[in-house]
Structure 1
Amino acid sequence: GVAGFIESPKFYPYLTGRKNLAGLARLDGGSTPGRMEEVLEIVDLAGRADDKVGGYSFGMRQRLGVAASLLRDPQLLVLDEPANGLDPAGMRDMRALIKRLASSGLTVLLSSHDMIEVEEICDNVTIMRTGSVVYHGEISELRKQAPEQGHRLVTDDDGRALELAKAHPGLRVTVGLDGGLVLVGPQGEIDALLGTLITSGLSLRALELTEEPLESLFFMLTESAPGSVPADLDRLPAGAPR
């Protein structure tokens, strides 16, 4: 069967986690003996199952939602932004749980706008724009198409910095859309350019990584004008809807 939840599942805060699951199981036609204890163990809530849900953290309620979805022992689990709103520890726990479920043989369909999360968890990815599929394939193949990550550099004289960068042919230097310069190339070349700028009397005001490569590719696929996406990114399976 199929099970899942959208963003944040709702529970009765004055009932315990166990009683909430028991009520849901009855509404769903019941569950096999011992299944409730099994799913509580899977989501690491066995030790808090008899506490009222009103005292649960947001991350615990999200994991209880996964437990509720697992009661019917589905073959496909659909999760929509399950880590949305969680603190770093909660995000780590939720991602670890999803990976454990997937490694157990359960198929997990994850909806997420967080490309770092997608890269960490998923084996295959489908990217959509305005209801149409613009990419479908293995995450490893998508990663190969991602642009190289760069650094954004801001100085007190970016025009002069751009001229000085010409002495470093190992770097690709462009003017950023939001100001500053974008440097792409080996770290050693970037270090050498920074040394040149400092010895030339320029002040460095900012040096930071640009957006993650897969995130850059996501924006290219979802925000580019129709027909402008490179042909090697057109990896739709036969018969896939556009």
Structure 2
Amino acid sequence: MQSGIGALVLSAVAICLPGCGTTPTDLTYRPAAQTIAATGAIPMVEISTVTDARKNPSNKIGTVRGGYGNPFWILETKTPVNDMVRQAFIEGLKSRGLLAKTDVAYIGLVVSIERLDSNQLMRREGHTRFNVKAIDKSTGQQLYSQVYEDNRVEDGSFVSQVDGLRKIINDSMQAAIDQALDDPKLTALSVSRPQSAGAPLVTMGSSVEARLATLKDLRERNLVSQKEYEDRRRKILEDL
């Protein structure tokens, strides 16, 4: 009897070994069919920065563990997690008609990834936590700050463990993004531009000098990256 159990264990290990290692994948945002922009919403939001504040390596998002809790299968993104989350937020904004199309957006979202991971031992788990700050880009003033979190647990199985792990963390990430982009605070801002400090916001109709001056001010206050500054400056000059 004992030898039979031992043979079964060895067979299971033999089956596992060829698949043990790391599996690259991508997480994507899938807009819900009912996702629509709020009445009167203006496309004036951009994703300013996304920072990976997790303790995990920059690409790791999941672990399948063996009977003793030891990791034997790692799930990683093909690109750094912060880049992937940034793109997911962008797709979410697009689906709501909120993604800025002007040279200088009114509102910048600053996202910190505090948690984005999945795990499977006896159960399969997916966890996401984003800290999101909305910034008035004309003044640098913080409009609000909010944490959005999603945690989910389901029965695990050694059949298609990696596919199941990818699905649960993808669903968790999307749920947290939906919370952030459907927040009434952002919805309220999207139907009337921020006026927190009374400063005029630069639009496509403003003079070239004013647009360049505002863009320079945003760069000096580190609200846009050097690359964003150069790209937007070039676009403004192309309008001449």
TM-score w.r.t. length of structure 2: 0.25
Q: TM-score normalized by structure 1?
A: 0.25
Structure in which a larger fraction of residues adopt helix: 1
Higher RCO by CA contacts (8 Å cutoff, separation 6 or greater): 2
Larger Cα-atom Rg: 1
- Which structure dedicates a bigger proportion of its chain to strand? 2
